[in-house]
Amino acid sequence: MTGIDDLPIRDELRGKSPYGAPQLDVPVRLNTNENPYPLPEPLVARIAERVAEAARGLNRYPDRDAVELRTELARYLSRTAGLEVGVAQVWAANGSNEVLQQLLQAFGGPGRTAMGFEPSYSMHALISRSTGTGWISGPRSADFTIDVDAAREAIAEHRPDVLFITSPNNPTGTAVEAETVLALHDAAQAARADAAGALVVVDEAYGEFSHRPSLLPLIEGRPRLVLSRTMSKAFGAAGLRLGYLAADPAVVDAVQLVRLPYHLSAVTQATALAALEHTDTLLGYVDALKAERDRLVAELRTLGCEVTDSDANFVQFGRFEDAHAAWQGLLDRGVLVRDNGVPGWLRVTAGTPAENDAFLDAVRELMKEKSA
Ligand SMILES: Cc1ncc(COP(=O)(O)O)c(C=O)c1O
């Protein structure tokens, strides 16, 4: 049998495993930070209508620049995120993963490096690797916040071409203060003052769940600062695959140099536009999930767990001597959470009230077993 390593595959991909959380068929799945609420029926009907309209034109390639969709995304950001942005400042792709990939294709690549503060979203490192960009793991404090001095030191030492700041951070749930983002942005520009500076990517995939305002206003007057967002979480549309960025129009021009032509299908564009028509309803679910998230934090603490403050739709909890055994213990009780490999900690996504109750019951049993 031929194995991957028998193929003339790139050396840096040898021996590697693909990204992926287990997709197990269990009663309560709280492991991938999805929104637990299905799209409301009126939106499903509107998607069917808009997709039917798009289907009549499927003999043609879609709008390559997705102008109508980008206009609506710009309108959404302007309405909710504290800065008036125009269509030229917004770009969309198949999930924010593709947005990040396009950014790394344009600003990373062979001979260049990217840095993030770990533990963080593991795809930042993986997409860096797949685009030939060197990865540097930056420091995070024991409480999972970013220590500005330690971060500045790492930036000055490694001079990354691309710097990732994830706020709220996955898997810890930790938000990053605007002043910290500015300090790191300035440090990254200073470290690469002899080149054309560094690209700073603020990954705000969970921005709508935060207690704090969006970091979007920071892009103003900073052409090397990019904000990345997604419809996978707050819009409850992970299956749609729609991510977007807001930045200086020059960044949008740059990603167009590497995007595949017609990368965003007419069906995707039509579906996303339908979802944006229902923004207010969908954001109502966000409020419910924030309340459930806060309940999870409070109840987990009551049960004797340590919990990292969360600004996202998930909660990091522990600490377990053997986090993987605890993960298995919850799975045995029908609840799937995520073991991100952070020693001692697990991550649970806020689900429906009933799912969260089932999760809390399972933790209660686990903690009893632990103390017995
Ligand atoms: C921090 C962060 N960024 C980006 C993504 C990718 O989201 P998507 O590609 O679904 O937009 C995720 C997904 O979990 C994430 O946690």
**Is 90 exceeded by the pLDDT of residue 315?**
yes
pLDDT at position 26 is: 93
Region 343-348 average pLDDT:
97
- Residue 223 Cα to ligand 1 midpoint, Å, equals 23
**Of 1-10, 98-107, 125-134, 267-276, which gets the smallest average pLDDT?**
1-10
Question: Whole-angstrom Cα distance, residue 366 to residue 372?
Answer: 10
Per-residue pLDDT tens digits for 197-225? 999 999 999 999 999 999 999 999 999 99
Report the C-alpha dihedral over residues 87, 90, 94, 97, rounded to 10 degrees. Answer: 180
Region 5-16 average pLDDT:
89
Say if pTM beats, i.e. exceeds, 0.85: yes
Q: Whose CA is nearest to atom 7 of ligand 1?
A: 96
**Is 90 exceeded by the pLDDT of residue 19?**
no
Per-residue pLDDT tens digits for 66-93? 999 999 999 999 999 889 999 999 999 9
**Is 80 exceeded by the pLDDT of residue 372?**
no
- Residue 230 Cα to ligand 1 midpoint, Å, equals 7
**Is 90 exceeded by the pLDDT of residue 60?**
yes
Contacts of 9 (CB under 8 A, 6+ apart): none
pLDDT category of residue 15 using cuts at 50, 70 and 90: confident
Which atom of ligand 1 lies nearest, measured to the CA of 33? 14
Per-residue pLDDT tens digits for 271-295? 999 999 999 999 999 999 999 999 9
Question: Whole-angstrom Cα distance, residue 131 to residue 232?
Answer: 23
pLDDT at position 370 is: 76
Which atom of ligand 1 lies nearest, measured to the CA of 166? 1
**Is 90 exceeded by the pLDDT of residue 13?**
no
Of 94, 96, 338, the residue with max ligand 1 atoms within 8 A of its CB, to mutate for a pocket test, comes to 96
Helices (DSSP H) in 171-226: which residue ranges? Answer: 178-191
Question: Whole-angstrom Cα distance, residue 299 to residue 291?
Answer: 12
pLDDT at position 287 is: 95
**Is 90 exceeded by the pLDDT of residue 16?**
no
DSSP class of residue 8 equals -
Q: Whose CA is nearest to atom 12 of ligand 1?
A: 205
- Residue 187 Cα to ligand 1 midpoint, Å, equals 26
Of 167, 230, 242, 340, the residue with max ligand 1 atoms within 8 A of its CB, to mutate for a pocket test, comes to 230
Contacts of 70 (CB under 8 A, 6+ apart): 87, 90, 91, 92, 244
All domains of the chain in start order, with CATH: 17-40+280-371 (3.90.1150.10), 50-277 (3.40.640.10)
Of 32, 35, 97, 228, the residue with max ligand 1 atoms within 8 A of its CB, to mutate for a pocket test, comes to 97
Question: Whole-angstrom Cα distance, residue 23 to residue 336?
Answer: 9
Contacts of 156 (CB under 8 A, 6+ apart): 187, 190, 191
pLDDT at position 18 is: 84
Contacts of 304 (CB under 8 A, 6+ apart): 367, 371
Report the C-alpha dihedral over residues 103, 107, 112, 113, rounded to 10 degrees. Answer: -50
Q: Spell out which residues line ligand 1, taking CB within 6 angstroms.
A: 33, 95-97, 121, 166, 170, 203, 205, 230, 232, 238, 243
Which atom of ligand 1 lies nearest, measured to the CA of 206? 1
- Residue 232 Cα to ligand 1 midpoint, Å, equals 7
Tell me the percentage of the chain whose pLDDT exceeds 70: 100
**Is 80 exceeded by the pLDDT of residue 177?**
yes
Question: Whole-angstrom Cα distance, residue 363 to residue 208?
Answer: 27
**Is 90 exceeded by the pLDDT of residue 17?**
no
pLDDT category of residue 23 using cuts at 50, 70 and 90: confident
Q: What is the mean pLDDT of the chain?
A: 96
**Is 90 exceeded by the pLDDT of residue 21?**
no
pLDDT at position 351 is: 97
pLDDT category of residue 371 using cuts at 50, 70 and 90: confident
Question: Whole-angstrom Cα distance, residue 112 to residue 132?
Answer: 8
Contacts of 351 (CB under 8 A, 6+ apart): 28, 30, 36, 292, 359
